[in-house]
Structure 1
Amino acid sequence: MKRLIMLAALPALLLAGCAAQSAASGTETLTVTGSYPLQYAQQFTIDECEGGYHLIIIDGTRYLVVPEGENAPAELDADITVLQQPIENIYLVSSSAMDPIISIDGLDTVALSGTQADNWYLDAAKTAMKNGQIAYAGKYSAPDYETILAANCGLAIENTMIYHTPEVKEQLEKFGVPVLVERSSYESGPLARMEWVKLYGVLLGKTDEAEQVFDDAVQRIAPLENESATGKTVAFFSITSNNLATVRKGGDYVAKMIEMAGGDYVFSDLTDSGNNLATVNISLEDFYAGAKDADVLIYNSTIEGEIRTMDELIAKCPLLAQFKAVQQGNVWCTAQSLFQQSMEMPDLILDMNKVFTEGTPDDSELKFLTKIT
């Protein structure tokens, strides 16, 4: 439902700007058509305004998306970042944003990468860099300002690591490059993370494409909602070089994917220890106590690399030889591309469901899991 808001009642963020906009349009009111509908995401909101303007709020930071051919309101509050469409020549530092952008056919808006070509697992991104369509412009803490400015960069998309080097963000903004800090990694569920595709749809003027991509992903796993839990207990882990086990916290999105797939995550009682990290390192003794009787072990290759054989796995941690899943041959390894392919999480959920229900599905049926033999 549309609502007509008098300028006097507007929040401070748009008071000055709306006055300028309304003066140009001959009205003293701003029509807000409502909030952009989000089903799962909690880390951003989008308000829709008449004329195609969008106000994005991420962790209290405000971005006004101005439609192509329209003017940005004058005298906005200083903390509002104006994003003028078309948004082009993006400096993409947050690797998790690449897959959503690719999924809505927005790769041509990216001109610069904070990840080198050989470190991309996304074929489209790797190919674009090798073909010269996308240039490497330095990592988040050491950007190549000369390359960024020469490319006429319209937006830098960072993750929260940029807050460790705030001077970099300040320098980019000083040069006139707006910086958007995305927080998809702070979402607690896989569908919430994937719903960030809608934010990129708004930024790039591809809302229809984004909504279709997201709806398709939701529908792919919808049948699992009607299935009963499998009763299979599951540990998702990796072994560090200093003999610790890295596991996900109970409220993490990977734990929720296991649950959606019908499994029971054995470390579901691990809670936030006062930081925002999704993982926690525990001693091998504690890992043994929690996971030795798990029906399924899933080794996370994205941290320490892929494991192909049981001998390799046991060499990393001899104690694993005593685990039930190792003895029964029910150990799986994730693909290293997993966390860059953020729009493919339904495939991992379906993979896990097959493992939990079929026991030993053929590897050819799976996209992200490979059996360790």
Structure 2
Amino acid sequence: MLRLRLHRKRVMTKGSCPPLRSLLALLVLLSLCGCAQQTEPPLPPEPEAPQALSWDALEYERSLDLLYAEQFSVEYYTGNYQKIAVGDGNRYLVVPEGAEIPSGVPEEIAVLRQPLDSIYLVATSAMDLFRQLDAIGAVTLSGVDTSGWYIPAAREAMEAGRMTYAGKYNAPDYERILDAGCDLAVESTMIYHNPEVKEQLERLGIPVLVERSSYESHPLGRMEWIKLYAALLGKEAEAESYFNGLMERLTPILEQENTGKTVAFFYITSTGAVNVRRSGDYIAKSIGLAGGIYAFSDLESGDGVKSTMNMQMESFYEGARNADVLIYNSAIDGELQTVDQLLEKSGVLADFKAVQTGNVWCTGKNLFQESLGLGDLITDLHTVLSGADVPLTYLHHLD
């Protein structure tokens, strides 16, 4: 009996108290559950790195509106990237300040990084466009020295040292140009005679743009080149405002009927020949826009033909003796003030109708550097042809 009770007691004790091993397992399980509840959620996946912009991915937005110019075009792309094409076949990609250069840019396309603030300007005709845009400060290197500038702001910049002489078009000072950190060379078409200079500049990493406004078929197309330089310099609004104002002033003149009066534009060379413009030249065309008829409209011009030519005085006499207006071009040998000074060059001119009626005029020397003055020249020509008594800008009467 006693043995039976002891056995029963052992069984009850064993059943009512779980083994130590089971208790430890339970504690471990509870601990794991608690840890699981405190575990932080997994981190989100890292964003993918943005893909580099490529040439083919540039999205076209619009083109620059042009009324007359045909020798350049500007296309705008998303992000204010610009693709520029010039009539000589050269193309450019303008990259905004702080933006990346797209990958895959074709090798033949020159990359221009804004801001363009160290320009080597050889094409003197473009300086007046920089002046109008208040951007002469962007021109730090000049292709002519101080004495070669008739634009006061350009001369002042040279004298103050803000612009330095870096050699003429066919003999640039490469070392000085590199030291200045030049980011664009604006050349005249004379560079076509020295292609090795253009090639050397490009080898040194300096893009070259050839100023071709003189190739524009319409005189006002020459002036519209201000929009190209404005695009390069980020001054499109200024250029648009200027050109719109110009057209407002000229439109009444352009819309008037031709006066029927003939005009001869000329100068006498050191050998006694007479230099005149061909009919396709912008001065000859400007006379037509102002309401006149160019006296030598039969002198046709074309590709590869110079816009001016020399003729003997006998031929000039025949074509201009009865012209209503004579205009002497002072760009070569200086301004004239009197008819007597003109007759000293050739007494034959005394027989000309315009000399006898007192309708002889002379240009100012700064006309051909002040490219934007063409609008004022057209106005002056119209004033002379119409007989209006108003101040002139580029023409003065020979007494």
Q: TM-score, normalised by structure 2?
A: 0.84
Matched, 1:290 2:319: yes
In structure 2, distance between residues paired with 1:336 and 1:113? 20
Structure 1 residue 76, shift from structure 2 partner: 2.1
CA distance in 2, matches of 1:247, 1:28: 50
> In structure 2, what is the equivalent of residue 159 of structure 1?
188
Choose which of 149, 155, 161 in structure 2 pairs with 1:126: 155
Aligned with 2:234 (options 205, 213, 220): 205
Aligned residue pairs total: 349
Among 119, 141, 146, the residue aligned to 1:112: 141
Match of 1:32 among 42, 54, 60: 60
C-alpha distance after superposition, 1:166-211 (max 9, x if no partner): 1111111121111111100111222100000000000001111111
Partner of 2:396: 370
Secondary structure in structure 2 of the residue aligned to 1:33? strand
Task: Classify 1:281/1:164 alpha carbon distance in 2 versus 1 (closer, same or farther; 3 Å).
Answer: same
In structure 2, relative to structure 1, the CA distance for the partners of 1:83 and 1:286 (3 Å cut) is same
- For residues 1-373 of structure 1, what are the structure 2 equivalents within 5 Å? 23-25=51-53, 29-58=57-86, 59-272=88-301, 275-358=304-387, 361=389, 365-373=391-399
> Gapped runs of 5+ residues in structure 1?
1-21
**Deviation sequence 1:12-61 (CA, Å, 0-9, x none):** xxxxxxxxxx9425997432113211110011111221111111111211
Once the two structures are superposed, residues 131-182 of structure 1 have per-residue CA deviations (whole angstroms, 9 ceiling, x without a partner) of 1111111110111112111111111100110111111111111211111111
TM-score, normalising length from structure 1? 0.90
The change in CA–CA distance for 1:147 and 1:347 in structure 2 (over 3 A counts) is same
State the shift of 1:85 in Å: 0.5
| Conserved? CA contact 1:186–1:276, under 8 Å | no
| Percent of paired sites with the same residue | 52
Structure label with greater radius of gyration: 2
Alpha-carbon spacing, 1:38–1:274, altered in 2? closer, same or farther (3 Å): closer
Matching residue's letter, 2:217: S
1:303, CA displacement in angstroms? 2.3
Q: CA deviation at 1:74?
A: 2.7
Shift of 1:123: 0.8
Q: Distance in 2 between matches of 1:183 and 1:249?
A: 19
Counterpart of 1:48, as a letter, is: Y
Q: Rate the CA distance shift 1:28–1:318 in 2: closer, same or farther, 3 A.
A: closer
1:106-130: CA deviation from partner (whole Å, max 9, x where unpaired)? 1110101111111211111111111
Please list the CA deviations of residues 55-95 of structure 1 after superposition, one character each: whole Å capped at 9, or x if unmatched: 11112111111111112223322211111111111000000
Which runs of structure 1 show a deviation greater than 6 angstroms over 4 or more consecutive aligned residues? none
RMSD: 1.7
Give the distance between the partners of 2:274 and 2:294, measured in 1 at CA: 15
